[in-house]
Amino acid sequence: MKLLLDTHIWIWSILEPHRLTREVTKELTNSENQLWLSPISLWEAGLLHRKGRIKVPGEFSAWVATTMNKIPVSEAPLTLDVAFAVFSVKLPHDDPADQFLVASAKVFGLTLVTSDRHLLKADGISVLAN
């Protein structure tokens, strides 16, 4: 299975793994699954860090580099196809980051791992609920 990690799932998997369900933990640690991350999640995490909503050891960019070594992920790039797919995303809110994540899941055929109640209802994609 190819799993696209929502921003909070990626952060929790590193900083607060106890917040992940057993099923999500099992799937994230299953070597047969591929873990994917959107640059949007990195951007969101950086904003959260800047606002003081998440704390990481040391400098943010160094933490990200260390994290990428601990939990290798494939990049779900922001392509023209993803940008166009955003216009077909129907969510009950206008969060552009969430729209890009759903569009990325659609374009690349990924299962979005999330606990966001809005994203759990996203049409046209596979979702793994935390």
Domain chopping of the chain, boundaries:
2-129
pLDDT, position 80: 97
Task: Answer whether 50's CB lies under 8 Å from 19's CB.
Answer: no
Q: What is the CA radius of gyration of the chain?
A: 14
* Cβ count within 10 A of residue 107: 19
Residue 92 has pLDDT above 80, yes or no: no
Q: Tokens representing 100?
A: 């890009």
Residues of the chain with pLDDT > 70, as a percent, come to 100
**Options 3.30.70.2190, 1.20.210.10, 3.40.50.1010, 3.40.50.2020; CATH of 2-129:** 3.40.50.1010
Residue 128 has pLDDT above 90, yes or no: yes
Residue 19 has pLDDT above 80, yes or no: yes
Nearest in space to 2 (alpha carbons), one of 35, 41, 42: 35
pLDDT band of residue 56 (cuts 50, 70, 90) is: very high
